[in-house]
């Protein structure tokens, strides 16, 4: 059995610095947007007293959810004993950490008082799922770093299986808790369902894997490392299954919502009457984000073409952002039903008397803040793969370890050895 050899990402310096330069510029813009927001207050954004979470939260939740999905690749190898995924474990761990950091950064910088971060870390309300998430997120980063160590260090190898199982359980809890941030909101019709928790888990698998595949393809392509067709096919098929699963969950989510008469209006609005939100739902989430990539993954003409696979992954990501936009913002825009059976004629606070569609207009600083978080995640990844041995030297199909029935813990031949890199 061959050892897996890992190597730093050595693309030509000019190109590498070019990539970093672009990412740093986007980060700088995001940073400026954050400063601007902090200085002026949130009036410069489209967020208001009705839509309190906007575009930054769409990006933040997307990144956080994707982070817990990215670690899944490592779990498949460690927990489920799929040898072919073994060499991917390190990149999977790295992405999980960087995506999470990017997402958290957005969340923190969007706070009304980001200067009080320490207050958030020292005052806990244990009834708050939000406070729990602070533990889940910090714990996740710590756990994944330990997991990475166990993958990369001989000493750590014997903990690898335990850590892998732990990380797997933790990421399930983390995504469940992230979904619950919304699922626990009894006040809002569109949230208020425990169903959002498993739905977020499924979404995380799809979005995390889509990002993972794109990063893998890009880094390998840039350096002309070998990425075996078989492996890519497996990854792609897995993503296809996840994307289809998200579609199924989406269907069930709206069906269960539509089952109660009190929600007819809501579902009708979201699906058909919601203007931009309905368009985003059908065109962005369902068509571009789900059906088109599924077709690309499985159509005989496109399924072997790497360009199509890459495009399909990108579409899944865009569709994910659209989905979260609809879930997060659409659900806030839809007026609260404080007076069922009554029509609001007039209100000093626009309770549902406005065309709901027009209560939120995303602003440039919000968008820049969100993109800044994405850039941070990618920047950390780019630096990580350059200075440390995260990427396997080759992923040629012939060199991949075979699947094991037993999880791979303790099999020396699979120890990913830094020294051989």
Partner 1 sequence: MARALMSNPGRWAGVGLILLGLCWTLAAQVAWAGDAQHFVRPGSKAATLGGCVEATPFMRRNHMELIKHQRDITVHQGIRGARYSLAGCIDCHVSHTADGQAVAINSKQQFCYACHAFAAVKVDCFDCHAAVPRGGPLSAAASGQGATSERDPRGE
Partner 2 sequence: MMKHPDETIDQGRRDWFGLAAAATAAVAAPGVILHLASANTAPEAQPASSAVRWGLLIDTNKCTSGCRDCVDACDRENGLDLQTKPPTEAPTAWADQKAVWVRKVKLADGLTGRVTNLPLMCQHCEHPPCVDVCPTGASFKRADGIVMVDRHICIGCRYCMMACPYQARSFIHQPMHDQLTRVPRGKGCVESCNLCVSRRDHGLPSTACADACTAAGKGAIVFGDLKDPASPISLALKAMPSRQLREDLALNTGVRYKGV
| Interacting residues with partner 2 (CB under 8 A) | 40-43, 46, 48-50, 52-53, 111-114, 116-117, 119-120, 123-125, 127-131, 134, 181, 184-188, 332, 336, 338-339, 341-351, 359
> What SS3 class is residue 7?
strand
Q: Which residues pair with 359 in a beta bridge?
A: none
Closest CB 47 distance from partner 1, rounded Å: 20
Closest CB 41 distance from partner 1, rounded Å: 11
Residue 302 touches which of partner 2, partner 1, none (Cβ within 5-8 Å per kind): none
Q: List residues near partner 1 by CB under 8 A.
A: 114-119
Helix (H) or strand (E) holding 130: helix 129-152
Q: Which of 83, 68, 148, 69 lies closest to 384, judged by CA? A: 148
Nearer of residues 19 and 120 to partner 1, judged by Cβ: 120
Asked if 337 and 22 touch (Cβ cutoff 8 Å), the reply is: no
Residue 301 touches which of partner 2, partner 1, none (Cβ within 5-8 Å per kind): none
Closest CB 46 distance from partner 1, rounded Å: 24
Nearer of residues 123 and 127 to partner 1, judged by Cβ: 123
Closest CB 31 distance from partner 1, rounded Å: 10
Distance between CA atoms of 323 and 207, rounded to whole angstroms?
11
Distances (CA, A) of 404 to 74, 77, 162: 14, 9, 17
Residue 3's contacts (CB-CB under 8 Å, 6 or more residues apart) are 413, 415, 416, 417, 420
Nearer of residues 117 and 251 to partner 1, judged by Cβ: 117
Q: β-strand 6-7 against 391-392: which pairing, if any?
A: antiparallel
Closest CB 39 distance from partner 1, rounded Å: 12
Closest CB 123 distance from partner 1, rounded Å: 11
Asked if 6 and 90 touch (Cβ cutoff 8 Å), the reply is: yes
Distance between CA atoms of 70 and 95, rounded to whole angstroms?
6
First to last CA, the chain: 16
Residue 332 touches which of partner 2, partner 1, none (Cβ within 5-8 Å per kind): partner 2
Closest CB 125 distance from partner 1, rounded Å: 14
Q: In this structure, how many other beta carbons lie within 10 angstroms of the beta carbon of residue 60? A: 25
Nearer of residues 116 and 304 to partner 1, judged by Cβ: 116
Nearer of residues 117 and 252 to partner 1, judged by Cβ: 117
Tokens 């208001």 correspond to 48
Distance between CA atoms of 120 and 404, rounded to whole angstroms?
44
């Amino acid at each position: 059995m061959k050892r897996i050899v890992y190597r730093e990402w050595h693309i030509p310096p000019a190109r590498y610095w070019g990539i970093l330069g672009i990412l740093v510029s986007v980060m700088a813009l995001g940073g400026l947007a954050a400063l601007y927001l902090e200085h002026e207050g949130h009036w410069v954004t489209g967020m208001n007293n009705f839509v309190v979470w906007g575009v930054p939260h769409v990006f933040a939740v997307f990144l956080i959810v994707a982070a817990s999905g990215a670690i899944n690749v490592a779990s498949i190898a460690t927990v489920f004993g799929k040898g072919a995924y073994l060499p991917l474990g390190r990149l999977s761990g790295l992405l999980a950490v960087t995506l999470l950091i990017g997402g958290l950064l957005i969340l923190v910088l969007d706070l009304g008082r980001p200067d009080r971060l320490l207050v958030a870390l020292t005052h806990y309300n244990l009834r708050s799922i939000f406070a729990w998430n602070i533990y889940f997120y910090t714990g996740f980063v710590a756990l994944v770093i330990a997991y990475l160590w166990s993958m990369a260090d001989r000493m750590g190898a014997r903990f690898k299986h335990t850590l892998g199982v732990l990380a797997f359980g933790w990421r399930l809890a983390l995504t469940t808790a992230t979904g619950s941030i919304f699922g626990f909101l009894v006040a809002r019709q569109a949230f208020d369902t425990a169903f959002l928790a498993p739905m977020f888990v499924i979404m995380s698998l799809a979005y995390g894997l889509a990002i993972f595949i794109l990063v893998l393809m890009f880094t390998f392509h840039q350096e002309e490392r070998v990425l075996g067709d078989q492996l890519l096919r497996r990854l792609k098929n897995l993503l296809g299954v996840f994307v289809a699963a998200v579609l199924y969950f989406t269907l069930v989510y709206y069906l269960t919502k539509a089952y109660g008469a009190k929600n007819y209006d809501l579902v009708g609005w979201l699906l058909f009457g919601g203007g931009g939100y309905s368009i985003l739902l059908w065109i962005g989430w369902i068509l571009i984000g789900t059906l088109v990539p599924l077709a690309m993954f499985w159509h005989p003409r496109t399924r072997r073409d790497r360009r199509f696979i890459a495009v399909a992954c990108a579409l899944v990501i865009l569709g994910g952002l659209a989905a979260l936009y609809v879930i997060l913002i659409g659900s806030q825009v839809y007026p609260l039903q404080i007076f069922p059976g009554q029509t609001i004629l007039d209100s000093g606070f626009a309770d549902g008397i406005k065309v709901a569609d027009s209560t939120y207009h995303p602003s440039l600083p919000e968008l820049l803040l969100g993109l800044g978080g994405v850039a941070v995640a990618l920047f950390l990844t780019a630096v990580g793969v350059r200075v440390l041995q995260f990427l396997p030297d080759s992923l040629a199909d012939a060199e991949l370890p075979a699947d094991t029935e037993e999880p791979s813990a303790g099999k020396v031949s699979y120890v990913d050895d830094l020294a051989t890199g």
